Chains A and B, each alone.
Chain A
């Protein structure tokens, strides 16, 4: 199979295992490309891409921009602050205005869950979801799984624990879908009130004991506490959270095997992960960032090839 089964990348939920493997295979080639002296290929030179960021982002925005530029696409950037959104323009109007400037593909981050799916139904362009509220963040999950595949050889049969604020995390949900489709076992770990009730229905193990979860896993994916999405207090203090669920060198060294440590960023050093762990040999945080560009190039390339000339 050489074609994605979807027309837009809204979430991992809609992707098939073959889709994910196709994306990975294509990303392998792009990873080789971005390590060349000239890191650019001309494939998308007739494609225009709009990056619409209605919510703050550093890594994802930079990563998408780099991916687009390395494919030779023309890009326009838009962020909600300093735009007409503040003047009361609706999402569809904003996007349609941008599209009438002949844009082929839209990369969007939005604080509302379902915004990407809504947009895909309303506008005549390819849509890539770069994070919609607490729903999904598909490219992050793809690059996480790609990094596990690169580090451990395959994802199938591996045990991955996602630790932290699962309730407010789009990364967690996308990761669960992606890892399960690739045949990995998934566990979530954190304070019970930050774990959604439906986790068992998704076939995900739940633990509230960090040490136990770490002993079980091959890979630990540490998530940030999303204070900006928490409208009430979920735990007494960050210090207490850090004592119970923070990953430090002591716990890491006490485990019976060497596990791989991941983090989607941005890191809050000293909260969910200590500096010495984040910078240790077991951490693949920076490889994740590098792979992010290759994986996003693959997604854009595969979707753009469906656009009719």
Chain B
């Protein structure tokens, strides 16, 4: 496995800060907006975005987490059953503007499941998508993000991993590729 760092800790922080300002541009004071992170990895992006937004706006931001396991389209196509994570949406999404958050946008299938899962909580006014990394030109479904941290061109065999201090020990985004690929 070859490693290539796409974003280091400093760039990652700058990128998150920029995304926050983009969000504020559209959502003003977040009075009608809630942020929902997709389990398992999107919630860490939400955590960072929330910290920054609270810093800038000096008010509480409503955030939740959404598990999409039961909505996936690859049930029974895997060796072992998918084990769910926790969904935590203890507020009404009725008529709210939703910002759905995930770390990497790749085929778009996770986001499709996420939309289905989200709509079983009610009828939001609008749904937008924020991703830290967009592996562009690799979509299986017609899905696109409204806010992109960084777009990268990748091969199918490669893997993009967003890593956080609290889990992997260091903030960074890494591209892993098999050595025999060009």
A interface list, Cβ under 8 A from B: 2-3, 22, 25-26, 29, 32-33, 36-38, 40-44, 46, 71, 301-302, 304-309
Contact A2 B80 (CB under 8 A): yes
B19 to chain A, nearest CB (A): 29
A305 contact set on B, CB distance < 8 A: 75-76, 78, 80-82
Interface of B is mostly: loop
Contact of A307 among B71, B76, B79 (CB under 8 A): B76
Contact of B120 among A2, A22, A37 (CB under 8 A): A37
Contact A29 B67 (CB under 8 A): yes
A71 to B69, CA, bound (A): 12
A26 contact set on B, CB distance < 8 A: 81, 83-84
Residue of B whose beta carbon sits closest to that of A40:
B120
A176 to B118, CA, bound (A): 41
Task: Confirm or deny: B87 has a beta carbon within 8 angstroms of a beta carbon on chain A.
Answer: yes
B122 contact set on A, CB distance < 8 A: 37
Known A36-B121, A43-B72, A309-B76; further 4 A-B contacts with Cβ < 8 A: A3-B80, A29-B69, A41-B71, A44-B75
A211 to B86, CA, bound (A): 42
Contact A302 B81 (CB under 8 A): yes
Residue of B whose beta carbon sits closest to that of A22:
B83
Q: List 9 A-B contacts (CB under 8 A).
A: A2-B81, A26-B83, A37-B120, A38-B121, A40-B120, A42-B116, A305-B76, A305-B78, A305-B81
Interface size on B, residues (CB 8 A): 24
A302 to B81, CA, bound (A): 6
B120 contact set on A, CB distance < 8 A: 36-38, 40-41
B75 contact set on A, CB distance < 8 A: 43-44, 305
A304 contact set on B, CB distance < 8 A: 76
Given contacts A29-B67, A36-B120, A42-B116, contact A3 B81 (CB under 8 A): yes
A36 contact set on B, CB distance < 8 A: 120-121
A37 to B87, CA, bound (A): 14
Count chain B CB atoms within 10 A of each CB in A3, A37, A44 and give the residue with the most. A37
Beta-carbon contacts under 8 Å, B122-165 to A = 122
